[in-house]
Chain A
Amino acid sequence: MDFVTMNILESSMVSLCKEMGIVLMKTSYSTIFNEALDFTCGLADMNGDMIAVADFCPAQIGGMPLLVKSCLKEIPIDEIEEGDVILHNDPYRGGLHTPEHTFFKPIFVDGEIMGFAVAIGHIAEVGGMAPGGFCGEATEIFQEGIRIPPVKIKKRGEDNIEVWKLLLANVRTPRTNYGDLRALIAAVDLGEKQMTQIYKKYGKQKVKDTVNDLLLYSERRMRAELEAIPDGVYTFSDKVESDGIDADRVYTIAVEVHKRGGEFIVDYHGSSPQAQGPINATLGVATSAAYNAVLHMTDPTIPRNSGCFRPIRVMAPPGTIVNVDFPAPEVGGNTETHPRIVGTILGAMAKAVPDRVMAAEGATHCNFVFGGVDAETKEFFACYDLEAVGWGGRAFADGNDGVDSINGNCRITPVEVYETRFPWRIESLAFNVDAGGAGQYRGGVGYTKQMLCLNDEIICSQMTDRHLLAPWGLNGGTEGGLGATLVQKNGVVAMASRPSAIAWRLPRMSARATSPRRRP
C-alpha cells in the first residue's frame, strides 16, 4: 500500500467531488440547489462502489452505492457507452424517494470503462398530487410524481430527446426543471472530464490498485473503530406520530444492533408494517440511515467510501415502514423516517457509547412545499422548502441550534432570496429560545417563521413531525419542545396542525398582495 499516492489521490478525488457540487450549485435554477445544497456528488468504480464523495447530503451519500449498483443490474456494463448519462429515481429499485434524481456518467479511458461520476439531487418539482410531490394525503406512489427507471438521458454525448420530452411534460415547472437537470449533468460532465485526467496522469492500473487500497484502508479503520465499542445486542425503539392518513395511529421503528467485533449489524425486524400514507422508507433509506448513524459515532477522518460501509449490515424486512413495497407512497421516508431511524440507532448505542451520541433531535425537515401561478409573471412556480430544527444535547456540549435535520446537512434559504423568488413575505423569524430540553447540556432550539402569502393563491403541502411526541432526552436530560403549524386568515387562526399528524395538505391560501414585489 503506497500511502503517499493514496492520500494524494483521495484528496484529489474528494476535491473533484466538491467542485462538481459547486458547478451544480452555481448553474442550477432552484433554491433547493443553489441555496439549500440538497445534492451530493461522488465517484464510483465500475462495480458501483463509491470511491469518493464530498460532504453534502448524508442521506444521499449513504444511498449512493445501492443506487449505482441497482442501475448496473438493469443496464449491463457492456451496454454503457462513452458519453452516455444515465438517470434514475425509482424508489423501488434502490432509490431514496421520488424527488431524488441520480445521474451517472461513465468514465472511459482509452476505450475502457473505469468508473462513474455520480450526482444525486432533490428536484424541487416532480409532478404528482401536490407541487413538489410531497403530499400528506398520498396513498400510492403515483400521487408522488414521475417515477423514472434507469434510462439514458444522453446517449453517446447526444440528448435523448424522447426522454427529455417525457420528463418535462410531467412536471409543473418545465423551464426550472430543465435548468436543474442540466446542472446535474454539468456536474457529472465535470467529474468525468477531471477523473479521466487523473487516470491519465497516474495510469489506469495505478489508480485502480490505489483505489482498492483506499477502500481497504477505510474498511480497516472502520473495523478498528467498531472493535473499540463493547460487543453486545443493543435495542431501542421510537415512534413516528402519524402517516397523514390515519391521524390516531403511531408507527414503531424498532432496532436491534448487534455489535460483534468489527461488525455492526442493524436488524429492523419488529418495526411497524408499512403505512398507508407517505412516511415509508425504502431499502436505500434504511441502509443509508444505518451508515449515517455509524458515521456520527466514529472517527470523522475515516475516508468516506464503500470501504467504510463494508462492516455495516442491514436487515430491513419487506413491507414495513423501513422497506416499503410497491406501490405504497414513500416520499416522507427519506426526510422524516430517515432521521428517526438514525435517532433510534443512536438511542440504542447510548448504552454502549454515551459520549458519542446525542439525545433526540427535531428529526423533521418541516417539508413545506408550495406552488401556484405567479400573479405577476403568469408562470407556475414551485418550491421545496426545508426548515431547521434543534439537535439533541451531547455528553460534552449543548445541541446545535437551528440546523437542518441529521440526514440533510442543507442550508436554510435566506429570507431575502425567499422573498425575491416567491410570492411570500417573511414577517418574522426567531429562535424558540426555551424549546431545547433542559439538562447539563441542553438540547438545541428550533425557530418560528411567520409568512404572509402575497399571491392570489398558493397550493401548499406540509409534511412534518414532532407535533405530538417530543424529542427524548438522555442521561436525565428533559424532553425538547414540540412543533406546530398554524394558518391564520385575517389575523385569526383558521387551521392548526392536528395532533399526531405528520403529513397533511394545507388548503389553498389566498391573500391580496400588499406591496409590489421584485423578481429576478
Chain B
Amino acid sequence: MKFSQSGLYIESYVKCANCGVLIYESSAEDASRKKVHDGQTYCSQECVDWKIERDARRSKATA
C-alpha cells in the first residue's frame, strides 16, 4: 500500500496476488519478504510457491 508523499491519503493499494494481504511500502518487514513472480507481487516466497503448486495441481486435474 502506497501513501502519498504527505502521508494523508492512499495512492495505491498493493495486495499479495495469492493470499490478498496488504503489502505496505513503508514497512521494512513487508519489503524484505516481498517477491515478484510473473509480473505479480506476492507477500512472500511461500505465497509464490503456493501459487505454482496450485496451478500445477489444477492443470493436472483438468488434463
Give the interface of A toward B (CB within 8 A).
70, 73, 92-94, 267, 269, 283, 286, 313-318, 323, 325-326
Contact = CB atoms under 8 A, between A and B. Distances in A.
B54 A326 contact: no
A92 B27 CA distance: 17
B22 A317 contact: no
B19 interface: yes
Contacts, number: 40
Nearest to A324: B20
A330 to B, nearest CB: 13
Contacts of A286: 20
B19 A92 contact: no
B21 interface: yes
A46 to B, nearest CB: 16
B34 interface: no
B19 A269 contact: no
Interface string B2-13: 000000001001
Given A92-B13, A325-B13, A317 B27 contact: no
12 contacts: A93-B22, A267-B50, A283-B15, A316-B19, A316-B20, A317-B18, A318-B15, A318-B16, A318-B20, A325-B13, A326-B10, A326-B13
B20 A283 contact: yes
A70 B15 CA distance: 13
A306 to B, nearest CB: 16
A283 B21 contact: yes
A318 B24 contact: no
Nearest to B8: A149
Contacts of A318: 15-17, 20
Contacts of B22: 70, 73, 93-94, 283
Given A70-B22, A286-B20, A325-B13, A315 B27 contact: no
Given A92-B13, A325-B13, A326-B13, A313 B27 contact: no
Interface of B: 1, 10, 13, 15-22, 24, 27, 47, 50, 54
A313 B50 CA distance: 12
A315 B18 CA distance: 6
Given A286-B20, A326-B10, 11 more contacts: A73-B27, A92-B10, A93-B1, A93-B22, A267-B50, A283-B20, A315-B18, A315-B47, A315-B50, A317-B18, A323-B15
A315 B20 contact: yes
Contact of A315 (B1, B10, B19, B24): B19
A285 to B, nearest CB: 11
A70 B18 CA distance: 19
B2 to A, nearest CB: 12
A73 B24 contact: yes
In this complex, the member of B13, B20, B54 whose beta carbon has the largest number of chain A beta carbons within 10 angstroms is B20
Given A73-B27, A267-B54, A269-B54, A317 B13 contact: no
A202 B27 CA distance: 35
A317 B20 contact: yes
A70 B13 CA distance: 13
Contacts of B1: 93
Give 3 closest A-B pairs by Cβ, nearest first. A316-B20, A318-B15, A323-B20
A269 B51 CA distance: 10
Nearest to B9: A149
Contacts of B18: 315, 317
Nearest to B7: A74
Contacts of A315: 18-20, 47, 50
Contacts of A316: 19-20
Contacts of A93: 1, 22
A154 B7 CA distance: 20
Contacts of B20: 283, 286, 314-318, 323
A144 B13 CA distance: 20
A73 B1 CA distance: 11
A318 to B, nearest CB: 4
B20 to A, nearest CB: 4
A176 B17 CA distance: 41
A72 to B, nearest CB: 11
Contacts of A94: 22
Contacts of B54: 267, 269
B19 to A, nearest CB: 5
A93 B1 CA distance: 9
B43 to A, nearest CB: 11
B54 to A, nearest CB: 6
B8 to A, nearest CB: 9
Contacts of B24: 73
B47 to A, nearest CB: 8
A286 B21 CA distance: 11
Nearest to B29: A73
Contacts of B19: 313-316
Given A73-B27, A267-B54, A317 B17 contact: yes
B59 to A, nearest CB: 13
Nearest to A323: B20
Contacts of B16: 318
